Amino acid sequence: MRGKLSTTAEVSAMQDTVFEELRRHLASADHVDLGQYRFINLEAVRAAAGPMWESLRSRVFLASESIIRKYAGESDLVIQCATGFLVVYRGSEPEEAQATTRAIGEALRRFFLGETMTRLMGLETSCEQLSVAEFAATLDAAQAEERASEGARAEVRQLAARRVIDPLQFGPVWDPRREAVASFMARPRRRREDGRGWVPASDLLCGRPGHEPRLELDLAVLALVREALSALQAGNARCGVITPVGYPALAHPGTRTRYATALAAIPEALRRLIVLKVEAAPLDAPAGQISENCRTLLPHCGRLVLHASLDALSLQRFENAGATLVGASLPASGSRSAIEHDLERFCALARRISLPVYLDAVADWEQLKIALASPVRLIAGPVFGERSELAVPYRLSRARALSSAA
């Protein structure tokens, strides 16, 4: 563990509180695992502030604590020290604690240095590269950002309460190599006004273009996914949930920030189970913009996948977006040969950017056979049915999948 609790006069006023919190934690612990104790050092920030440190110190610690608590679990202990924060990861293994601490460090560097500087200089960036004027301007926005964060969390609660969409359906996502279903695809829908059937996800925003309507839909879906994961976790079970988010909401700075804040408000244990599926990226969106917008979300979710059109001519713009999969939906109609041709080309394009492929909207036995003849990693669609609630992972053999689809 790096760092120590200072015994200088600067810390004496808060020593009693610090040690009382530690005593309570140690008294309740069966054993002490030093791997759960990590120190977040702010000395580099102090050096960057120079003579302005005394006037900026309190705001530095407020902003830093806010960022740390977005990553720390609800049961974790965050204790302010003279030169930083001691974080006790009470519910994490040492490896998880180390990974979370690295993520916190990167988030702090991004906040104080900015996105561009952090990318150019890597994770070992020196805060001496930040001018005092830029530093002060960044901190001036800290309190306003925290108010915006609380506003976004309230927005999610309001959307969940008024049900912008009806309860989600969850489609099994099958891994044919492992012959198992370990995750589900969240599928938003809304009952038609006449009560006859459902408006599918693809039509939910018809007549309502723009980033604000898309954000409203995405926040509503996220709120319901969180509820479903919480219910599953209450039964000591868990699974992954592929959760859609529209690129229009990410391309606009304001809505992107509100969505990222809503994600950060979800407990870490649940957030790790959310796989964001970024969809509807326009063909003319610059690769650099896609990369930056997508990577902004990476610290706040388990993984990220990208959705494109099956007849895409190139996937190169997705190469540096931080995704673990790229996928497409099979068309509802079309000849077998045309679908096979498009799928073969799509997989070849994905190989060029070193990403495995998932396939959605697989509707029947014939399409399942097409999917199985390709190198796709994950398969989803109506052929596997849908559930109104999340379920624990289960085995699904190839033979049984084909038999059920026939």
Cα(106)–Cα(118) distance, rounded to whole angstroms? 8
Do 273 and 353 lie in one domain? The reply is yes
pLDDT digits (tens, 9 = 90+) for 42-70: 877 777 666 777 777 887 888 888 888 88
Number of structural domains found in the chain: 2
Q: Is residue 168 part of a domain?
A: yes
CA neighbor of 322 nearest in space, from 338, 299, 346, 344: 299
Cα(235)–Cα(246) distance, rounded to whole angstroms? 31
Do 226 and 108 lie in one domain? The reply is no
Q: Is residue 345 part of a domain?
A: yes
- Mean of the pLDDT values across residues 157-167? 61
Beta bridge partners of 378: 358
Q: What is the pLDDT of residue 29?
A: 52
Do 130 and 172 lie in one domain? The reply is no
User: If you write DSSP's letter for every residue of 169-182 in order, what string do you get?
Assistant: EEEEEEETTTTEEE
* Mean of per-residue pLDDT scores for the chain: 80
What pTM, to 2 d.p., does this model score? 0.62
Report strand pairing: 180-187 vs 394-395: antiparallel
Between residues 121 and 150, which one has the greater pLDDT? 150
Do 205 and 94 lie in one domain? The reply is no
- Examine the pLDDT at 385 and tell me if it is beyond 90: yes
Do 98 and 164 lie in one domain? The reply is no
CATH classification at residue 341: 3.20.20.450
- Examine the pLDDT at 91 and tell me if it is beyond 90: no
pLDDT digits (tens, 9 = 90+) for 204-213: 776 566 889 8
- Examine the pLDDT at 15 and tell me if it is beyond 50: no
Do 307 and 282 lie in one domain? The reply is yes
Do 174 and 241 lie in one domain? The reply is yes
Query: Which range in 82-91, 95-104, 370-379, 397-406 is most confidently predicted, on average pLDDT?
Result: 370-379
Do 208 and 342 lie in one domain? The reply is yes
- Examine the pLDDT at 12 and tell me if it is beyond 60: no
Whole-number percent of the chain with pLDDT over 90: 46
Do 246 and 127 lie in one domain? The reply is no
Do 136 and 216 lie in one domain? The reply is no
pLDDT digits (tens, 9 = 90+) for 302-354: 999 999 999 999 999 999 999 999 999 999 888 999 999 999 999 999 999 99
Q: What is the pLDDT of residue 34?
A: 52
pLDDT digits (tens, 9 = 90+) for 352-372: 999 999 999 999 999 999 999
Cα(155)–Cα(230) distance, rounded to whole angstroms? 19
Residue 75: CB atoms within 10 Å = 13
Exposed/middle/buried for residue 330 (C-beta within 10 Å: 0-12, 13-18, 19+): buried
Do 63 and 89 lie in one domain? The reply is yes
| Contact predicate 218/246, CB 8 Å | yes
Where in the sequence is the domain holding 271, given as residue range(s)? Answer: 156-405
pLDDT category of residue 17 using cuts at 50, 70 and 90: low
Do 183 and 58 lie in one domain? The reply is no
- Mean of the pLDDT values across residues 373-401? 94
